[in-house]
Structure 1
Amino acid sequence: MDNLLGANENLMNTYANLSIVLDHGKGSKLYDINGNEYIDFTSGIGVSSLGYGHEGWVNAVTEQVKKLAHTSNIFLNEPVLKLAKKITEISNMKKVFFANSGAEANEGAIKLARKYSYDKYGEGRNTIITLNKSFHGRTITTLKATGQEKFHKYFYPFTEGFKYTDANDIDSLISCVDESTCAIMIEAIQGEGGVNPLKKDFVDEIFKIATKKDLLVIFDEVQCGIGRTGKLYGFNNFNVEPDIITLAKGLGAGLPIGAVLCNEKLQETFKPGDHGSTFGGNPVVTSGALEVLNIVSNDSFLNEVSKKCNLIKTFFKNASSSKVKEVRGMGLMIGIEITEEASKIQKAALDNGLLVLTAGPNVLRMLPPLIISNEELEKGLSILLQSIENV
């Protein structure tokens, strides 16, 4: 079955694929077409929040696909109405728009913020401040919102109206705000940018400035939302309430979904025809997402995620490896900065039965399924440490 890898010649060369073909999964483990077993510290880059083959999620999706797989958004369906009610209530938000990905969700948030400002202040107030080392998507607009120049090569011209400031640098933030600013868009933890958590004083300053100048605060929770940090949302760690939240990844638990939530201030900003998505609010995907929320929004479940974070940090503290420079992050979104080349460790771990991500040249990124057991976590950490030490 290894000859399947030859089919990769038919795929566009957009990914630096690792040399296995995955076949199936169960819980927090994945299996390739040759039957090899891997502990998964990736969850599909934060997507498979409930792991693989979760009975409740599978049943919800399966039963819905038997009934109705898709409708036009001209019509309503029961799962999207139930999910809309659930997600707005637990998020303390007023309304939600469903899309298919994080990039789509962020596009929607950008449009929503700019329309709110246009409706209230007219033209010329449309700049959105984001952070250096941020990541907000792969579309032309969300690439420009992303504060990493390496993603901007080749694709000019970009959508205008973005400025960048350094994370946790209050003076830099203040200098960026001017009369053209309409919103500030941030991640609680920068995932692709190196797993860098924001500091509370920086987040507090953002909200002070936003309140004073009537700016909107957008939290991109695509990667760090839906229980990933041990709270329902990353911003819950700072005790703040944004105007707009964007979601994707873990909300779908394996199926594509995006969401834009807004508070009461923005609830009437979009009018019919202002925005749309053919597959947004798909009944199969929203049925699965509702099951995710029923599980992940439970306080005891979130507390377990936080305990697993402590387990990870204690493990590396006790290991006292000279090759591990820093372990940072919250919940099950952890960055391990090392002295070695991260991609080499990733390949070594793969050979030893562990799947792990990178986030820059010297940072390993851990995003295990939220349901991973302590035993699986400890075994995977041992493999990872061994891989770091032996490379």
Structure 2
Amino acid sequence: MLKKTIIYTFFLIGIICFGTVDLSAQTKKTREELEKEKADVQARLREFDAILKQTTAIKKTTLGELNAITRQFQTQTRLVNTLDREVKLINQEINETEEKIASLEEALKDLKAEYGRMIYNASKLNRGLSIVAFVFSSNNFNQLYSRLMYLKQYTDSRKQQAIQIEKLSLELAEQRKTLDQRKSEKENVLSEEKKERAELERLKQSQQGVVNNLSKKEKDIKRQITATKKQQDQLNKMIKQVIEEEIRRAEAASRKENSNTTKSAGSSMPMTPEAAALSSSFAGNKGRLPWPVETGFITQRYGTYPHPTLKGITMENDGIDIRTQPNSNVRTVFDGTVTKITTMPGYGGTVIIKHGEYYTMYSKLKTISVKTGQKVNAKDVIGQVATGPDGEAEVHFQTWKGLQVMDPSTWVTSK
């Protein structure tokens, strides 16, 4: 009887000890990642607000305004989705905590019942014999030793049970406190989600209002897009001429020096070892380059695609357009050499910087603070952004590898 009680007690304690593992630890990393994502999205929305407020007084129904509202709407949608995921995660944590509380309550009930039985059995051993009589009624020394060991284990087990009862009681109180906290967090997030959904609906209505107005000006918009495309073609023609001239110079220098130049894999341009190293370093930082402006958001992405909200309108862009604060500094994204400074129709001040076989172009500048041939480092200020008649401050940014234009959004850090 005594031996079975001791074995059962240690078995029960073992189940309790292993059963009290914190289940919430399984979702801790996910929760931290979700909180970081939410903070990042909220920071982006604050950036949107700060930039768009600059044009509130003078904004008109323009394609640029629609692009900005569309990007804001997309980011607001992302925030609402993040909050929705957070609510689901909290619900999961609440369910896990409730299951854990139920398990702890059941374990505590069993442990207290077993402890009660042990107290009762301690007073009656072997047909009512006292503990002393039980020990000294042994038939031989081996039996005496065995009974002493049983009693020692029995006493240790009772102490361990008492410790576990106290531990479980504290753990149960802590889990109930955690449950209350999770429920409170859920209410807060639901309230926040409700508020952000209302903001999302406001943005949706604002976006639809602009769409309705612009839809009446479809011919004007298409004419504007055609004119912009023509200006961009002139811009691209200019940068290709600059790059072709650079290639010719490099080939001429290569023929002259012969042994001091090299070509990187896939490159159409001979380069000095220093230029090859710079080119390799630029390529190695793909996806990690800083933005050409400190704050901002992309209003028109790279490529040819249908406008996300205006039917029948196709967008074309060989770079990205970044909306930012008026008078913001424009910065180079990597070490290099200023190769060309010019002014282009529709794009204003333009700077081209060479990074080995790679080139970056910065347009729509109102002032330029560098000179042709000047060496620059990453984040060096090269000028200030121009502000259009509608109060929209945008930078046009392009990336090239030789004569091949690339998507700049894949080179800068994601936001």
Greater Cα radius of gyration, structure 1 or 2:
2
Band the TM-score falls in, shorter-chain normalisation: under 0.3
RCO greater where, 1 or 2, for CA within 8 Å and sep 6 or more?
A: 1
Using the size of structure 1 for normalisation, the TM-score is 0.21
